[in-house]
Amino acid sequence: MKFIAYAFSIFFILNIMPLHAKLITEPLLKKAEKKYTIKSKNRFLDLRDNLIKNLKNENVMKQLNKVNTWVNYIRYRSDKKVYGLSDYWATMYEFIGKGMGDCEDYTIAKYYILKELGISPKRLKFTYVIYKSRKGKNISHMVLSYLKVPKPKKQSDILILDNNNRLALPASKRKDIVKVIKMINGDTGAKSKKWKKLEAGMKQKKL
Amino acid sequence: MTLFKQIGLVVSFIIIVMLGAIMIINYKSAKQDMIQSLYETTANNISTLSNNLADASEDYALLVTTIDAEFDSGYYQKIEYISNDAKSDYVQVDNDLVEGVPLWFVRFTDIKLQSVSSDVSSGWNMAGVVHVTGDVGIVYKALYKMFINLLYVFVVSVVSAQIVLSVLLHFVLKPLYRVQRQAEAILKNEFLIQEKIPFTTEFRDVVYGMNAMVKKVEEIFNKGNEAAQRNKELLYNDPTTKLFNRRYLMLKLSDLIKLENKANGGTIIFIALSGAEVLNQQLGRKKADDMFFELGDIFNDVCRKYDSKVIARVNGTEFTLMIPDCDAGDAKEMALRISSRFEELIAFNKLDAKEVFIVLGLYRYKPTVTISELLTRADNALSQAKVDDNTNICLYEEKDDENAMGKEQWREIIEDSISNNYFSLRFWPTLNAKTKSLDHNVMTFTIDGGENKRFFYGDFIAPAINLGLVSRMYIVTLHDLITTRHEELDGSVCSIRLSNDFIKDSDAFDELRTLFKKYAKTLNFKLSFEVTDSFAINNTIVVKSFVTLFAKYDFGFGVNSFTGESNDFTYLKELNPKFIKADCAFLLDQSKDSMSALQVITDSLGIEIVATFVKTTDELEQLQAMHINSIQGPVTDLINK
């Protein structure tokens, strides 16, 4: 009888636990503080207790904008400087933990936070684009695209979450994105080698 | 190594080699297929990539993004673009370790994948070359997974094959086990017939052959047994009473006088019947014979508790009851019972007790008495009984020597000898007269406890039996024999004559078993044990348990003091001794037919006949003429010279 009571208790606790608790756990917070600084831990706490908690029942537009803004506060640093590699896809935990990363790391973090907020990953695309800087230079870049409708037919149906812009604007209003090279799925389609590595890292909560 | 193990090993080896070969072929083939498939996929992809790069060749950012997008969304190890002007070269590489695959496997597999190259051209402009290498990690992972699966399949197949093989071999070789058991039984001279005939032709023929052979040998034994019984009756039995005759009595007397027992000797009873003519006249020949037969039954019944007795009809009206281990008191009581039951028999046959009566002369002898003294004194007692008007029974008792030691004195000496091991082992040889070589040594022991404490076996065995010390005494001497080195025994066989009292003692069996368990492997000579024939006949089951114990340690077993007194030699088949020892006089007294019958029995059971107490070369020659070559007794000194 005791066993059944314990089993029920565990089942009940698991069910009332907020979903975001799965993304940011207590051991992760301790680990982040130990590995980095208290600031690192605070970033995770802010993400969990403010951003995700507050946005849970908000509309999609608000979610997209708030998440984009929150993530964009993190400093930009190239992979070469942070990881010593020319190209590296950091997990959301590494990115927020270190408090720095490049355009792909912003995209990945936004993807997982929005997914946590309940946005369908099928609407989220990793997009390889050419970004024209203010100085007029073409730069290889990655952004997160949100499809307002499942099968968008015009540019305004796609919202762009970019580390160069605080707002999630429709693609039609992003004249600085001069070319779209490729849109790839997150974890909803065929998974590439990089995706598999990233998924494994996310599962392990790799800091 | 057994046939089962040999076949098992060979077939297992073949199975392992075959499965191993299949595994290696599968693995190599899969490896080649995967590498080829990866190469082909890469070749297909490079076409699209080179087209995309052609459009992007003018813009470095576009070129980089195109390569990144391709690299990130696929399975590549390396994509390298080399521009003709060397200004816009770009490379994406992933040299990370293959996750989920151990390093040893990566080193062992060592896949070398060729890169695929394609020109990138925009119109007539040759912009550069792109080199693409597929991700071998996929191949490693797939191969490792396959390797593990193949390993599981291999292990499961080998284990399953072993189980099936084992069951199959057990089933197929089961008849062979039975053939082996039968062969072992034949070697042990046991008559084992295999009832289950094997299905396999070869085994079936072998079993038929062995069964036929065993049946023949058993038939020979049975015929020999019957012939021996017949000859024994003719030679040593009185045809009317079925009692032994004078000839047998005289043969046995010397053995019986010296027989080890508590009573230190025994009693001989001479019985003479008076009025035989009246008996024949009044009853007629047939009824008179019936009465003699019943008289024999009375004798057997009265002294049935004595195993080693001999009851003989020495002539038409005289009987002798030689009863070792029977003291005067018991003998007198038996004489009275015989007399009383005879009177009842007379009354039953309506005869006059004054005309037909028996007279009994009893002589209580000691083991030191000679045969002639024994017979003379018993005859004197009978004569005395005849002349005494008051009774028909006369007892003449050999008084104990006044200087003889008392029971307590013996107890002290024997217990002292057991505690301090005053026993001194003696060995005398049994020779093979033909090869003049030693067959085995026979062990006996004396007490050597210093001055006035030296005694022969014959002196202390009777007190030891009386005091119940025989088993302890034997265990001490056997322990000494086994644990102390006796140079004369090295590499030979040593035979020990076990006392009847030792064998009857159940504790002695356990002690002997413990002794063997502890020391049997350390012996540098072989042990053999002997029991007396009469004891073996009357205690076959007990002796059999000892024989089984001896066989377990590969020790020999034999029967001594053999006089063929049993009416059935099946006990020899049961006990399967390696030899029987018989007095030279007994062997030489045998008729040609009875000796031949005995030898048929011994030959069919693989038993060797050993002649004991052989004194002269004449006796030796006669024995050799009977093909008896194993000899014990004074003549061995002459052979050795």
CATH classification at residue A26: 3.10.620.30
pLDDT tens digits, B505-553: 888 889 889 999 998 888 889 999 999 998 899 889 999 999 999 999 9
Mean pLDDT for chain B overall: 87
Contact B486, B452 (CB under 8 A): no
Contact B495, B530 (CB under 8 A): yes
Domain coverage including residue A173: 2-203
For residue B442, the domain's CATH number is 3.20.20.450
Residues B385 and B422 in one domain: no
Lowest mean pLDDT among A2-6, B190-194, B466-470: A2-6
H/E stretch holding A70 reads helix A60-72
Q: Do B65 and A130 touch (CB under 8 A)?
A: yes
* B624 backbone dihedrals φ, ψ, rounded to 5°: -65, -35
Q: What is the pLDDT of residue A116?
A: 93
Burial class (CB in 10 A: 0-12, 13-18, 19+), B533: buried
Q: Do B65 and A129 touch (CB under 8 A)?
A: yes
Asked whether the predicted pLDDT for residue B634 surpasses 50, the reply is yes
Q: What DSSP character marks residue A49?
A: I
Confidence of residue A5 (pLDDT cuts 50, 70, 90): low
Task: Please state, in angstroms and rounded to a whole number, the distance separating the CA atoms of residues B515 and B480.
Answer: 11
CB atoms within 10 A of CB B392: 20
Beta bridge partners of B359: B272
Asked whether the predicted pLDDT for residue A154 surpasses 50, the reply is yes
3-class SS string, B245-303: EHHHHHHHHHHHHHCCCCCCCEEEEEEEEECHHHHHHHHHHHHHHHHHHHHHHHHHHHC
Average pLDDT over residues B395-399: 81
Residues B515 and B461 in one domain: yes
Nearest CA to B409 out of B378, B438, B449 is that of B449
Instruction: Count Cα neighbours of B71 within 13 Å in the Cβ-side half-sphere.
Output: 24
Residues B494 and B538 in one domain: yes
Residues B445 and B511 in one domain: yes
CA distance B164 to chain A (A): 44
In A, which residues are within 8 Å of B76 by CB distance?
Answer: 193
Nearest CA to A119 out of A52, A73, A182 is that of A52
Task: Please state, in angstroms and rounded to a whole number, the distance separating the CA atoms of residues B462 and B53.
Answer: 120
Asked whether the predicted pLDDT for residue A9 surpasses 70, the reply is no
Contact B413, B449 (CB under 8 A): yes
In A, which residues are within 8 Å of B60 by CB distance?
Answer: 138
CA angle B404, B408, B414 (to 5 degrees): 90
Residues B475 and B537 in one domain: yes
The answer to the question of residue B203 being in a domain is no
Residues B321 and B370 in one domain: yes
Burial class (CB in 10 A: 0-12, 13-18, 19+), B597: buried
Chain centre distance of CA A143: 11
Structure tokens at B532: 């007396």
* B562 backbone dihedrals φ, ψ, rounded to 5°: -75, 125
What does B26-46 look like in DSSP terms, one character per residue?
HHHHHHHHHHHHHHHHHHHHH
pLDDT tens digits, B89-131: 899 888 777 778 888 888 888 888 888 898 888 777 788 899 9
Q: Do A130 and B59 touch (CB under 8 A)?
A: yes
The answer to the question of residue B12 being in a domain is no
Pairing label, strands B423-432, B393-397: unpaired
Average pLDDT over residues A171-182: 92
Task: Please state, in angstroms and rounded to a whole number, the distance separating the CA atoms of residues B362 and B381.
Answer: 6
Domain boundary among B156, B179, B214: B156
Q: Do A138 and B62 touch (CB under 8 A)?
A: yes
Q: What is the ipTM of this complex?
A: 0.76
pLDDT tens digits, B296-325: 999 999 988 888 889 999 988 899 999 998
For residue B59, the domain's CATH number is 3.30.450
Residues B266 and B373 in one domain: yes
CA distance B73 to chain A (A): 5
Contact A51, A66 (CB under 8 A): yes
Q: What is the pLDDT of residue B489?
A: 86
Dihedral of CA atoms B12, B16, B18, B22 in degrees, nearest 10, equals 160
pLDDT tens digits, B234-268: 788 888 888 999 988 988 888 888 887 777 789 99
Contact B500, B464 (CB under 8 A): no
pLDDT tens digits, B447-474: 988 877 888 888 888 888 888 888 899 9
Task: Please state, in angstroms and rounded to a whole number, the distance separating the CA atoms of residues A152 and B626.
Answer: 123
Dihedral of CA atoms A30, A36, A38, A42 in degrees, nearest 10, equals -80
Structure tokens at B93: 């590489």
Nearest CA to A104 out of A72, A70, A144 is that of A144
Q: What DSSP character marks residue B8?
A: H
Domain boundary among B397, B424, B447: B397
Structure tokens at B78: 């390396």
Please tell me if residue A87 touches chain B, with a CB cutoff of 8 Å: yes
Task: Please state, in angstroms and rounded to a whole number, the distance separating the CA atoms of residues B212 and B193.
Answer: 9
Dihedral angle sign, alpha carbons of residues B592, B598, B604, B606: negative
Q: Which residues contact B83 (CB under 8 A, 6 or more apart)?
A: B57, B89, B127, B128
Q: Which residue of B has its CA nearest to A137?
A: B61
Structure tokens at B540: 């076959």
- Per the listing, tokens 């065993």 go with B214
CA angle A37, A39, A41 (to 5 degrees): 80
Confidence of residue A20 (pLDDT cuts 50, 70, 90): very low
Instruction: Report which residue type is found at A12.
Output: F
The answer to the question of residue B218 being in a domain is no
Beta bridge partners of A109: none
Residues B295 and B329 in one domain: yes
Nearest CA to B58 out of B78, B84, B80 is that of B84
How many domains is chain B partitioned into structurally?
A: 3
Please tell me if residue A146 touches chain B, with a CB cutoff of 8 Å: no
For residue B387, the domain's CATH number is 3.30.70.270
The answer to the question of residue B551 being in a domain is yes
Nearest CA to B353 out of B366, B364, B343 is that of B343
Q: Do B65 and A181 touch (CB under 8 A)?
A: yes
Domain boundary among B124, B140, B156: B156
Please tell me if residue A133 touches chain B, with a CB cutoff of 8 Å: no
Q: Which residue of A has its CA nearest to B72?
A: A194
Pairing label, strands B357-365, B318-324: unpaired
Contact B441, B495 (CB under 8 A): yes
Q: A139-172 burial, b if ≥16 CB within 10 A, otherwise e?
A: bbbbbbbbbeeeebeeeebbbbbbbbbeebbbbe
Of B96-105, B173-182, B485-494, give the range with the top mean pLDDT. B485-494
The answer to the question of residue B190 being in a domain is no
In B, which residues are within 8 Å of A198 by CB distance?
Answer: none
3-state DSSP assignment of residue B450: coil
Pairing label, strands A158-162, A138-147: antiparallel
CA distance B23 to chain A (A): 29
CB atoms within 10 A of CB B73: 21
Q: Do B61 and A182 touch (CB under 8 A)?
A: no
The answer to the question of residue B544 being in a domain is yes
- Per the listing, tokens 């002294």 go with B303
Residues B462 and B368 in one domain: no
Task: Please state, in angstroms and rounded to a whole number, the distance separating the CA atoms of residues B451 and B453.
Answer: 5
Task: Please state, in angstroms and rounded to a whole number, the distance separating the CA atoms of residues B533 and B526.
Answer: 22
Contact A158, A152 (CB under 8 A): yes
Nearest by CB to A128, from B60, B69, B92: name it.
B69
H/E stretch holding A151 reads none
Q: Which of A108, A182, A195 to mutate to test the interface with B (most CBs of B within 10 A)?
A: A182
Residues B363 and B443 in one domain: no
Burial class (CB in 10 A: 0-12, 13-18, 19+), B169: middle
pLDDT tens digits, B208-226: 888 888 888 888 888 888 8
Task: Please state, in angstroms and rounded to a whole number, the distance separating the CA atoms of residues B167 and B169.
Answer: 6
Task: Please state, in angstroms and rounded to a whole number, the distance separating the CA atoms of residues B477 and B587.
Answer: 32
Q: Do B65 and A140 touch (CB under 8 A)?
A: yes
Confidence of residue A101 (pLDDT cuts 50, 70, 90): very high
Residues B353 and B449 in one domain: no
3-state DSSP assignment of residue B363: strand
Contact B78, B115 (CB under 8 A): yes
Task: Please state, in angstroms and rounded to a whole number, the distance separating the CA atoms of residues B482 and B521.
Answer: 10
Burial class (CB in 10 A: 0-12, 13-18, 19+), B503: buried
Task: Please state, in angstroms and rounded to a whole number, the distance separating the CA atoms of residues B182 and B190.
Answer: 9
Q: Do A184 and B74 touch (CB under 8 A)?
A: no
Contact B111, B139 (CB under 8 A): yes
Q: What is the pLDDT of residue B462?
A: 80
* B196 backbone dihedrals φ, ψ, rounded to 5°: -80, 115
pLDDT tens digits, A21-41: 488 999 999 999 999 999 999
Q: What DSSP character marks residue A176?
A: T
Q: What DSSP character marks residue B111?
A: -
Q: Do A128 and B65 touch (CB under 8 A)?
A: yes
CB atoms within 10 A of CB B78: 17
Domain coverage including residue B152: 32-156
Q: What DSSP character marks residue A58?
A: S
Q: Do A181 and B76 touch (CB under 8 A)?
A: no
Q: B447-466 burial, b if ≥16 CB within 10 A, otherwise e?
A: bebeeeeebebebbbbbbbb
How many domains is chain A partitioned into structurally?
A: 1
Residues B420 and B535 in one domain: yes
Structure tokens at B375: 């017979």
Lowest mean pLDDT among A180-184, B335-339, B589-593: B589-593
* B443 backbone dihedrals φ, ψ, rounded to 5°: -100, 140
Nearest CA to B522 out of B572, B482, B472 is that of B482
Task: Please state, in angstroms and rounded to a whole number, the distance separating the CA atoms of residues B511 and B521.
Answer: 17
